[in-house]
Amino acid sequence: MVKPVSRREFLNLLAAAGGAGAVIQASTALGLMPAGASASTLDLAAGNGRSALILGGGLSGLTVAYELGKAGWDCMILEASHRCGGRIFTVRHGALIDEIGNRQYCEFDDEPHLYFNAGAARIPSTHRNVLKYCKELEVELEIFINENKTCWVQDDAMLGGKPIRNAEYTTHMRGFMAELMTKAMSEAAMDEPFTAQEAEILLGMIRRFGDLGEDDVYRGSFGAGYASGGFISHGVQKDMIAFRDLLGTRLGMGLLRASEGETGPILMQPRGGMDRIIDGYLRQVGDRVSYRAMVASIHVRDDGVEVTYDQDGSRRRIRADYCFNCIPAHLVTGFEHNFPADYVRALKYVRRGEAYKAAFQAKERFWEKQDIYGGITWMNNRSRQIWYPVAGMHKRKGVILSGYDFGGGMYHTRMTQEQRIEAHLADGGKVHPDYRNLVEKPVTIAWHRMNHMLGCAGYWTRRLDGSWAPEDEEMYHLLQAPLNGRHYIIGDQMSMHAAWMESALQSAHWAMNDLDRRLRNTPARDSTAP
Amino acid sequence: MVKPVSRREFLNLLAAAGGAGAVIQASTALGLMPAGASASTLDLAAGNGRSALILGGGLSGLTVAYELGKAGWDCMILEASHRCGGRIFTVRHGALIDEIGNRQYCEFDDEPHLYFNAGAARIPSTHRNVLKYCKELEVELEIFINENKTCWVQDDAMLGGKPIRNAEYTTHMRGFMAELMTKAMSEAAMDEPFTAQEAEILLGMIRRFGDLGEDDVYRGSFGAGYASGGFISHGVQKDMIAFRDLLGTRLGMGLLRASEGETGPILMQPRGGMDRIIDGYLRQVGDRVSYRAMVASIHVRDDGVEVTYDQDGSRRRIRADYCFNCIPAHLVTGFEHNFPADYVRALKYVRRGEAYKAAFQAKERFWEKQDIYGGITWMNNRSRQIWYPVAGMHKRKGVILSGYDFGGGMYHTRMTQEQRIEAHLADGGKVHPDYRNLVEKPVTIAWHRMNHMLGCAGYWTRRLDGSWAPEDEEMYHLLQAPLNGRHYIIGDQMSMHAAWMESALQSAHWAMNDLDRRLRNTPARDSTAP
């Protein structure tokens, strides 16, 4: 039994609870801050035969190869794995998930809509550079559904674990919140007087927001959905849920915030899988990629950069005028190098996030029978989320995300593959009772154990007010500047908004623009530092 | 100058303002009430050669022809106009808009994505029968975007008419509302004590809902969008907007309610235009439709129904065992008939809504340059809304809805075509300054003047508590029952939720199920009333 608090104790709680800060910090861990439209533009001078060596075939590396290639540079990408794209990874029939200690080949049926975007999965409409490249590279887009009020909310601590529709939770909670607001309007002193018209507009808005009765009391709303009828017979309202029952779950903190932040704008995805973007790049620069080429050493010289790498059992050597490096910073320090100590310290300073995702192929699209087309079910367990696909509406099968654990990614990582699968079957079964029989062919992926990555997005320390700690600022700018004017670290790790494709693109653009500016200000002397 | 009100006057306003009732009534005028999942099922007995005459090739009529046809009935549809679908009408290159006094041929370019759903435009995921037929008739669906926080809000009465992003309005308003709530929590007596955990959850939720500072004061949020930066440099917050500036517009009543009600579930549309659904039906029953067949008389006999109609300049006669009639009820009373007086009274009782829509072809997709992909801009003028298309993302041109006036549909109807167009150019120009030069090839449609329809959806009087007036109940049930067991009135006009396709389908299902039940309970005697 929890002990009730008096009104006075409640007020103390109010004062002591620490404000919204902790919440903001949590939401930025995976780069979930909203981002405005800040497109970067490129207008590169002709390369005149200059060469660029690109380490890593992630999005930022491919972008450098594509853009410098257009400007006439001689580019080469060394990619350590068997595929380009990095954390842009669409898992489909036959795909290898190269997680160290848990390699899997995907057994989904071989159909175009049966895929799982195991990494990047959403493109906000405000991410202009991602959209620009989709257009330029002829990648067809479709709408992605994130928030869906028809999906479920489940928490063992609410209503004895019975799942309810998101619309039930949010509609009822809005009603009770609106009641609270009208109380404040009638009992709390206003800071400033309202005009009669302002008061009427504010009241009207609060009443509609909460669907309040004429006495400003909330007694339920058809917004939560009909229990029955509504077309040929009168609609019957669903049973009410009491305020304090809804307060059983902490999920409401996120649910009432949905459609704000990074997932506030319309979201999109390439038709057929996120790696359609990588395919688009490879149509342009595919012949510049050398696969299974594992960097062994990087030496930055006055007149260029020398790299050795292992490929096909041999050590090879390559030299270029400039180098763009999107390998995760914490792995770069493991190579042989001639970097100065402060550069090494900065490379080591970039921490990497943990992120874990899992998916099932569903034998039938059971969610569509529940009126669910896309969107996310929220659960207060370690699987956290179930994502239903937009792709393949009304077809027989579909692929669903069955778990998405970030921040606490080590929880599932420590398990065997069988234990991971069993955990998701048990968690999802609380929402879909027949889950275990409806799904098959699981895949799981712990990004911090993926070969050649060993970490999810890099991150920097954001303080409660959104600013960065001085040490982070110093390290970030040290690493952003090209070493000896020749070696650029790029990728979403070199942004203030990690874990988004737009960040990788803007980092690549920043580096290319920086180099271009320096080259334009220098008399043309090939193979010499500007 | 408006006169400020004192706190006491404000409280009086609060008491007198009449509650949410008026708002609910307004929102139901076009059938915008939420609807739960109430699928109807059909299991019809074999037709054994029975015949059905279907008056009107709207969605309900096509459904009867399709379903009874599958069960072995002999069906025929008489359609007065040159096309089936009724208010499912996709306007594209060459389409005739047969508005009486304002006939137009659409001049949009001839491309698949350049279309305008002039009638039905949205399928909620809870409308199971619409989705069932889309699946069965192989109509490919895609997501429709309704609410989009990146779209604009414009009101001459707010901020001097300057448009702001929906996200700015809603994020700031939520902040101020959350402030009000925390005041209520600290100053108003709680009806019941909360546990410490409940209090913490509620506070956490309110603070996240409003993105409040640690002192529970709202000072702006990145949720409103960045002014600049956010990726390679730190994000700069957009300028705040004062609470009372936001209170300049009444649009907030709708904006804070968005994603609730009928448009709360995920919405969908057929890829290529809403009439893909009609195409699907016509692939099955196209040979059963007789076009330009205008009904002249309906006589309901003991052993069937006799209808005369005019076609190709001749009066023709047809007879069937049963008749399903989806012609608008107020037009049916204009035919010769042998209906009893109470049936005629009921037919005349069904009022018809007014609805007006307009669209432009845009020479370029200027909204995508503003990060807008689908969704609705809200304006406090008579054009009311601008809808940006999901179809054809990143292509050169697009078709936008430039005005949608329901309820007050006569405002534009009384204008000439040139005046209508000028009105939309002027209204839209307040949001998109170069609007006039960006759009071309307008179409407008006043549904209440469309030939063979002369009205939008039928409607019945819903009282503030959601129930119907006794007279409406009486008339509805009188009209729903088959006249002489032979003549059914069908369509969304015979539902409690007019103006949605699901309503037309459920009405058709109700009528077929009613007839089937009666036939099963009667010894088989063809051509005799059961």
Q: Do A507 and B10 touch (CB under 8 A)?
A: no
| Facing residue for A200 by CB, picked from B17, B19, B187 | B17
Sheet with strand B164-165: strands edge to edge = B164-165, B152-154, B375-379, B385-388, B398-406, B355-362, B439-446
Tell me the one-letter amino acid at B177: M
Give alpha helix (H) positions in B165-313: 166-187, 196-210, 243-246, 252-255, 276-285
| Facing residue for A507 by CB, picked from B232, B259, B265 | B232
Domains and CATH numbers, chain B: 51-85+276-350+462-520 (3.50.50.60), 91-150+264-274+354-449 (3.90.660.10), 166-248 (1.20.1440.240)
Q: Do B188 and A192 touch (CB under 8 A)?
A: no
Q: Do A231 and B506 touch (CB under 8 A)?
A: yes
Chosen for mutation from A140, A169, A211, A231 (greatest number of chain B CBs closer than 10 Å) is A231
Rounded Cα distance between A166 and B8, Å, is 39
Closest CA to A57 of A260, A232, A277: A277
Q: What is the dihedral of CA A187, A193, A198, A199, to 10 degrees?
A: 20
pLDDT over 90, % of chain A: 70
- What pLDDT does B23 receive? 30
Closest CA to B122 of B416, B467, B374: B374
Q: Do A261 and B20 touch (CB under 8 A)?
A: no
- What pLDDT does B9 receive? 52
Query: Strand, coil or helix: what is A97?
Result: strand
Q: Do B223 and A34 touch (CB under 8 A)?
A: yes
Q: Do A184 and B189 touch (CB under 8 A)?
A: no
- What pLDDT does A192 receive? 61
| Facing residue for A393 by CB, picked from B3, B141, B226 | B141
Looking at beta carbons, which residues of chain A come within 8 Å of B197? 2
- Shortest alpha-carbon distance between residue A503 and chain B (Å): 6
Looking at beta carbons, which residues of chain A come within 8 Å of B370? 37
Mean pLDDT over all residues of chain A? Answer: 89
| Facing residue for A5 by CB, picked from B140, B196, B228 | B196
Q: Do B193 and A6 touch (CB under 8 A)?
A: yes
Q: Residue A74 corresponds to which tokens in the numbers above? A: 């001689």
Q: Do B13 and A184 touch (CB under 8 A)?
A: no
C-alpha R_g of chain B: 26
Q: Do B199 and A14 touch (CB under 8 A)?
A: yes
Look-up of token digits 């100065």: A340
Q: Do A17 and B497 touch (CB under 8 A)?
A: no
Judge contact between A69 and A288, C-beta under 8 A. Answer: yes
pTM exceeds 0.95 for this model: no
Q: Do A229 and B38 touch (CB under 8 A)?
A: yes
Q: Residue B90 corresponds to which tokens in the numbers above? A: 């996709």
The H or E element spanning position A357 is strand A355-362
Burial readout A280-298 (b: 16 or more C-beta within 10 A, e: otherwise): bbbeebeebbeeebebeeb
Rounded Cα distance between A183 and B190, Å, is 10
Rounded Cα distance between B452 and B496, Å, is 23
- Shortest alpha-carbon distance between residue A101 and chain B (Å): 34
Chosen for mutation from A207, A232, A490 (greatest number of chain B CBs closer than 10 Å) is A232
pLDDT, one tens digit per residue, over A475-497 is 999 999 999 999 999 999 999 88
Q: Give the pLDDT of chain B (530 residues) as one tens digit per residue.
A: 334 445 445 445 444 443 333 333 333 333 333 444 456 778 898 888 899 999 999 999 999 999 999 999 999 999 999 999 999 999 999 999 999 999 999 999 999 999 999 999 999 999 999 999 999 999 999 999 999 999 999 999 999 999 999 999 999 999 999 998 888 777 654 556 778 888 888 888 999 899 998 888 999 888 888 888 888 888 888 889 999 899 999 998 888 876 655 667 899 999 999 999 999 999 999 999 999 999 999 999 999 999 999 999 999 999 999 999 999 999 999 999 999 999 999 999 999 988 999 999 999 999 999 999 999 999 999 999 999 999 999 999 999 999 999 876 689 999 999 999 999 999 999 999 999 999 999 999 999 999 999 999 998 887 777 788 899 999 999 999 999 999 999 999 999 888 999 999 999 999 999 999 999 987 655 444 44
At A427, give phi and psi (nearest 5°): -65, -50
- Shortest alpha-carbon distance between residue A151 and chain B (Å): 9
Return all residues near A505 (Cβ < 8 A) that are at least 6 apart.
A40, A59, A60, A63, A129, A130, A133
Query: Strand, coil or helix: what is A117?
Result: strand
Chosen for mutation from B202, B462, B503 (greatest number of chain A CBs closer than 10 Å) is B202
Looking at beta carbons, which residues of chain A come within 8 Å of B272? none
CA torsion sign, B30 to B33 to B39 to B40? negative
| Facing residue for A264 by CB, picked from B167, B181, B216 | B167
Closest CA to B343 of B454, B480, B460, B459: B480
Tell me the one-letter amino acid at B183: K
pLDDT, one tens digit per residue, over A198-227 is 888 888 899 989 999 888 899 988 888 888
Residue A334's CB: how many other CB atoms inside 10 A? 12
- What pLDDT does B188 receive? 53
Strand partners, A356: A405, A446
Q: Do A373 and B266 touch (CB under 8 A)?
A: yes
- What pLDDT does A15 receive? 46
Q: Do B466 and A23 touch (CB under 8 A)?
A: no
Q: Do A20 and B268 touch (CB under 8 A)?
A: no
CA torsion sign, B145 to B147 to B150 to B155? positive
**Quick one: DSSP state of residue B433?**
T
pLDDT, one tens digit per residue, over B51-73 is 999 999 999 999 999 999 999 99
Looking at beta carbons, which residues of chain B come within 8 Å of A40? 232
Q: Do A496 and B230 touch (CB under 8 A)?
A: yes
Closest CA to B328 of B445, B456, B487: B456
Q: Do A231 and B496 touch (CB under 8 A)?
A: yes
Biggest CA–CA distance in chain B, Å, is 83
- What pLDDT does A28 receive? 33
Rounded Cα distance between A21 and B207, Å, is 9
**Mode of pairing for the β-strands spanning A294-301 and A336-337:** parallel
pLDDT at A187 over 90: no
Q: Do B231 and A497 touch (CB under 8 A)?
A: yes
Task: Give ipTM to 2 decimals.
Answer: 0.90
pLDDT at A523 over 90: no
Q: Which residue of B has its CA nearest to A234?
A: B496
Judge contact between A109 and A397, C-beta under 8 A. Answer: yes
Mean pLDDT over all residues of chain B? Answer: 89
| Facing residue for A208 by CB, picked from B23, B372, B375 | B23
Question: How many Cα atoms sit within 13 Å of B70 on the Cβ side?
Answer: 12
- What pLDDT does B16 receive? 47
Q: Do B266 and A128 touch (CB under 8 A)?
A: no
Rounded Cα distance between B167 and B147, Å, is 11
Looking at beta carbons, which residues of chain B come within 8 Å of A134? 394
Closest CA to A169 of A230, A240, A264, A263: A240
Rounded Cα distance between A172 and A521, Å, is 63
- What pLDDT does B238 receive? 86
Strand partners, A405: A356
- What pLDDT does B213 receive? 85
Cα distances from B420 to residues A117, B97, B404, in angstroms, run 47, 15, 12
**Mode of pairing for the β-strands spanning A51-55 and A74-78:** parallel
Looking at beta carbons, which residues of chain B come within 8 Å of A33? 222, 230, 235
pLDDT at A19 over 50: no
Chosen for mutation from B231, B255, B388, B490 (greatest number of chain A CBs closer than 10 Å) is B231
Judge contact between A171 and A221, C-beta under 8 A. Answer: yes
Cβ neighbourhood burial of B102 (10 Å; 0-12, 13-18, 19+): middle
pLDDT, one tens digit per residue, over A249-296 is 999 888 887 665 566 789 999 999 999 999 999 999 999 999 999 999
Looking at beta carbons, which residues of chain B come within 8 Å of A184? 180-181, 183-184, 187-188
- What pLDDT does A330 receive? 95
Q: Do A14 and B229 touch (CB under 8 A)?
A: no
Say what angle helices B276-285 and B59-70 make with each other, to 10 degrees. 30
Rounded Cα distance between B305 and B53, Å, is 8
Looking at beta carbons, which residues of chain A come within 8 Å of B145? 143, 266
- Shortest alpha-carbon distance between residue B314 and chain A (Å): 38
Q: Do A20 and B212 touch (CB under 8 A)?
A: yes
- What pLDDT does A529 receive? 44
Looking at beta carbons, which residues of chain B come within 8 Å of A510? 232
Look-up of token digits 């019941």: B192
Looking at beta carbons, which residues of chain B come within 8 Å of A174? 260
